[in-house]
Chains A and B, each alone.
Chain A
Amino acid sequence: MISTLRGQSLLSLEGLEREALVEVLDTAESFVEVNSRAIKKVPALKGRVVASLFYEESTRTRLSFETAAKRLSADVLSLAVASSSVKKGESLRDTIATIDALGIDAVVMRHQSSGASVQVSRYVPHVRVINAGDGQHQHPTQGLLDAFTIRQVLAERRHTTGPESGAELFEQLHVLIVGDIRHSRVARSDIDAYVTLGAEVRVAGPRTLLPVDIDRWPVTVVDDFDEALEWADVVGLLRLQRERGSGSFVPSLGEFTRTFGLTVQRARRLRPETIIMHPGPINRGVEIDSLVADLPSAVIERQVANGVPIRMAVLYLTVAGTRMEGAQ
């Protein structure tokens, strides 16, 4: 178990203790303040080099990581894989060796293969590796920013602040995650974060889109989706990942929407304060009705906005943090 991210790579939220998660959330709170300043920049990572290596397309994650690194004054090497030597057949190992030879402190990496970032952290043990999504495995910063967003919304409602509440607001919190759990690295990271912080998590989705080993996960599968909507304090929707072949796991998109989409009619079952989340990009009219996505209780844009402070916190702790023996 890992009790702090200071000086560590961030490959997965699995195995991170509650105190490590709370530390990231609290640190991110300080960066929210930095992001509200006229000059949104601090010199914490001045002279450090962060490489961003995205083998898979991404808008919000790549932009928010690069924004985060720049606001910490790090230098950013951004490798556009599509126009790089990768297209000439260079292996992952050789690409990493090349950018490592340029002298980097951290690499932010997205890859279509599960476990790719773990592999890279073995190639270059002296570099901090930050997983920005690997196949169907994990997307740790998304899990962290989702937890951060929930804590922020709940803290505001109770007129307190996130750091004051620690993990308290997650006790007895009912979270329902809906949709394509099988192909979703976001679901895996979200579940790890929520369960470690003390929430109760249930999942709903077509049987074909639930992972085969779901009974070994720390979650309950719900039979009655409509009933679970009434139970939930937070509903986390997932994108139907057609690029990973989700299309062939459901009879049709229309059928999926009718049974597991958050339609206007279904949204009426939610309590007005139930938080609606989606990691984006959203398929309006598939997992979520366009009108529902624009409800005040839908915090989708806030999730995007929180991406920068969370990623600043992760970069700050992992890169600026010295590796400590028996961390305090």
Chain B
Amino acid sequence: MAHEVLEHNSDREPIVVIGLQTGGVPLAQLLAGLLGEIGGAPIEFGTLDVAFYRDDLSERPVLDATSTSIPVDLSGRIVLLVDDVLFTGRTIRAALNALSEWGRPRSIQLAVLVDRGHRELPIRPDYVGKNLPTALREAIVASVEGVWIGTEEQP
């Protein structure tokens, strides 16, 4: 995936890798490390928590806020947003809103480990680890160690 990202973007463009809390953070860290190694220059890395930007706050319990840390002004940068599982797309919608408050990135790209389908918004990933068709009642757990599928009772 790191090679794919580099092929897609020319060397001179500074990339900032941002992991979505909490599942996307270890993946983003891994990806930022690899991109730095392959590209030969260290890559800036940040984390983003979208709890305060969700549109479903009134329909579900308030999520625990974790931490956001974006080290640079994103104006003019290429932002690579990283998450573990892409599902409805609502987290990504919230993340896009949130990112606009740190400047106007030149472009925002999305990398996910697993795309499980069932999108509710017109959002598609640029880089996918694996497309994994699922049923709505199934739950997915994805991490650096592996991916598990189960029903919601026993994820």
Partners in one complex: yes
Residues of chain A having any CB pair with chain B under 8 Å: 6, 26-27, 29-31, 33-34, 37-39, 41-44, 72, 163, 316-317, 320-322, 324, 328
* Alpha-carbon distance between A30 and B51 when the two chains are bound, in angstroms: 10
Given A30-B49, A34-B52, A44-B57, A316 and B62 touching (CB < 8 A)?
A: yes
Of residues 82 through 114 on chain B, the ones whose CB sits less than 8 Å from some CB of chain A are: 97-98, 101-102
Chain B residue with minimal CB distance to A312?
A: B52
User: Separation in Å of the A27 CB from the closest CB of chain B?
Assistant: 6
Q: Which of B29-37, B64-72, B141-149 contacts A (4 or more CB under 8 A)?
A: B64-72
Contact A44 B52 (CB under 8 A): yes
Q: Pick the contact of B61 from A26, A27, A33, A328 — CB < 8 Å?
A: A328
The A contact surface, by secondary structure, is loop
Residues from chain B with a CB closer than 8 A to the CB of A322 are 58-62
Q: How far is the CB of A30 from chain B (nearest CB, A)?
A: 4
Q: Which residues of A contact B52 (CB under 8 A)?
A: 30, 34, 42-44, 72, 316
Instruction: Tell me whether A321 and B62 are in contact (CB under 8 A).
Output: yes
Whether B62 and A30, one on each chain, are in contact in the complex, defined by CB atoms closer than 8 angstroms, is: no
Inter-chain contacts of B59 with A (CB < 8 A) = 322
Kindly list chain A residues whose C-beta atoms are within 8 Å of the C-beta of B60. 322
Which B residues contact A (CB, under 8 angstroms)?
49, 51-53, 57-62, 64-69, 97-98, 101-102
- Contacts A26-B65, A39-B101, A44-B57 known; list 16 others, CB within 8 Å: A6-B61, A6-B62, A29-B67, A30-B51, A30-B67, A31-B65, A33-B69, A34-B68, A37-B101, A42-B53, A43-B52, A44-B53, A163-B67, A317-B62, A321-B61, A322-B62
- Closest A residue, CB atoms, query B49: A30
Do B62 and A33 touch (CB < 8 A)?
no
Interface of chain B, helix or strand or loop or mixed? loop
CB distance B65 to A27 under 8 Å?
yes
Give 6 nearest A-B pairs by CB, closest first.
A30-B65, A42-B52, A44-B52, A321-B62, A39-B101, A320-B57
Look across to chain A and name the residue whose beta carbon is closest to the beta carbon of B55: A43
**B-chain residues with CB within 8 Å of residue A30 when the two chains form the complex:** 49, 51-52, 65-68
The closest CB in chain B to the CB of A34 belongs to B52
Min Cβ gap A22→B in Å is: 11
Chain A residues whose C-beta falls within 8 Å of the C-beta of B62 in the assembled complex: 6, 316-317, 320-322
A43-B53 in contact (CB<8A): yes
Distance A39 CA – B102 CA, assembled complex (angstroms): 8
